[in-house]
Amino acid sequence: MTKKIGILTAGSDCPGLNAAIRGFGKTAEQVHGMQLIGFRDGFEGLLSNHTVNLGGEALSNILTAGGTILGTSRLVPHHIEKDGEILDKTDDVLAVYKENKLDGLVCIGGRETMDTAQHLQSAGLNVLTLPKSGVNDMPLTDVTIGFDTAKMIATEAIDRLHSTANSTHSIIIVEILGREVGWLTLTAGVAGGADVILIPEIPYTIDNISEAILKRNKAGKVFSIVAVAEGAQSSELVAFFERSMKKSQQVHEGESPNVGRERMAELRRQYSGETLMLANRLESSTGIKSRITILGYLLRGGAPSATDRVLATQLGSYAADLVSENKYGVMVGIQNGKVATAPIEAVAQAEKPVPLDDPWLTSARKVGTIFGD
């Protein structure tokens, strides 16, 4: 009997998603004789049964295209906010899955997608996932779809800002995606020759950064480039969070640890975006004018790099082979340079911070890069 598989892309977009859809779809159809349908706009389309036929020529000429032909959204079917209430629409998803007579569901996405995939798997669906993330924050895979392209764009931006910083004798701060991990900022900063790199894993002190910049200035280096992850935090803010956490634990003694973590996550979101404050304080402490460039969504757009195209094709094709063997419940990624799998439950709600002894980080320190600690 011909297998019928559904596929969707969820969360934020990034380059390489179309290549992954193509890699899975062509292998599934041409090698294993499967039937493939797509769901529009992530889990939102799965919930509303908004399908797209991916047979025939639907997968032609999409390898080099950015974004995703399926669209995407951040909707999580078991946690939908409506009129002040949280709704669980898992049963509706199961009904759509059965109505389409699916044998399996392939979800391409980031950490939220992995959490949702685990939930759907526990509800009885055959689920398999592929990791995408421009900031490379997915555990149990060396690299994620979209990371190489984002790294390339961020590095080129830093390269271009060198001449402006030099001409204007200024501090230019480049804000790069990464609320919780600093992989993208670290790699782009090292590759682009940033003088200061600030990442979430290493709390920084304004005085240390200012001192390093003034030292550069006295040595005749009339500009500085600061690469900062959007989630980088000063040691003052980290201390504030720690005090708030202790106070919250005292006030809400006996509550679930998850509730406490959610409250702190919300607090961190309220205090995110320190880049403007960083620029003002550096200008005030050094007397050197500071300017900000926020790369933001620019890092998610455009055609994928050759590396991302190959990676996405490789992971997608391997995933189709697994589906043909009825192997579900895993994320397909790269471990030690080879395609490998990890249980979805081991990936869901897990993190991949930059280790403080990571070779990229230690090499950057050796060539004089400042991390503000």
- Inform me whether the pLDDT recorded for 337 exceeds 90: yes
SS3 of 251, please?
helix
CB within 8 A of 308, min separation 6: which ones?
15, 16, 19, 145, 146, 147, 148, 149
Over residues 128-146, mean pLDDT:
97
Which helix (DSSP H) or strand (DSSP E) does residue 157 occupy?
Answer: helix 147-168
What pTM did the predictor assign? Answer: 0.91
Which pLDDT score is estimated for 104? 98
Angle (CA) 231-232-234 rounded to 5° is 130
Residue range 6-54, pLDDT digits in tens = 999 999 999 999 999 999 999 999 999 999 999 999 999 999 999 999 9
Residue range 171-185, pLDDT digits in tens = 999 999 999 999 999
> Cα 51 from chain centroid?
26
Over residues 291-309, mean pLDDT:
96
Over residues 283-300, mean pLDDT:
95
- Inform me whether the pLDDT recorded for 331 exceeds 60: yes
SS3 of 52, please?
strand
- DSSP code per residue over 312-343: HHHHHHHHHHHHHTT--SEEEEEETTEEEEEE
Which pLDDT score is estimated for 261? 54
Q: Give the domain 151-299+355-366 fold.
A: Rossmann fold (3.40.50)
Alpha carbon distance 162, 223 (integer Å): 8
Read off the DSSP letter of residue 27. I
Angle (CA) 247-348-251 rounded to 5° is 10
Which stretch of 85-94, 184-193, 196-205, 257-266 has the lowest confidence by average pLDDT? 257-266
Instruction: Decide: 252 and 279 in contact? Cβ < 8 Å.
Output: no
In terms of Cα–Cα distance, which of 238, 226, 196, 361 is closest to 294?
226
Which stretch of 20-29, 194-203, 267-276, 354-363 has the lowest confidence by average pLDDT? 267-276
Alpha carbon distance 283, 286 (integer Å): 5
Instruction: Decide: 169 and 288 in contact? Cβ < 8 Å.
Output: yes
Alpha carbon distance 198, 284 (integer Å): 19
In terms of Cα–Cα distance, which of 190, 139, 153, 135 is closest to 11?
135
Over residues 112-120, mean pLDDT:
97
What CATH number belongs to 4-145+304-335?
3.40.50.450
- Inform me whether the pLDDT recorded for 355 exceeds 90: yes
Which pLDDT score is estimated for 244? 59
Residue range 64-111, pLDDT digits in tens = 999 999 999 999 999 998 888 999 999 999 999 999 999 999 999 999
Residue range 210-259, pLDDT digits in tens = 999 999 999 999 999 999 999 999 887 666 555 655 665 555 555 555 55
Q: What is the mean pLDDT of the chain?
A: 92
Which helix (DSSP H) or strand (DSSP E) does residue 114 occupy?
Answer: helix 111-122
Which pLDDT score is estimated for 262? 59
Portions of the chain given CATH number 3.40.50.460: 151-299+355-366
Which pLDDT score is estimated for 270? 54
Which pLDDT score is estimated for 84? 85
Instruction: Decide: 24 and 317 in contact? Cβ < 8 Å.
Output: yes
Confidence of residue 201 (pLDDT cuts 50, 70, 90): very high
Which pLDDT score is estimated for 1? 80
Instruction: Decide: 52 and 40 in contact? Cβ < 8 Å.
Output: yes
- Inform me whether the pLDDT recorded for 264 exceeds 90: no
Residue with tokens 């690469």: 227
Portions of the chain given CATH number 3.40.50.450: 4-145+304-335
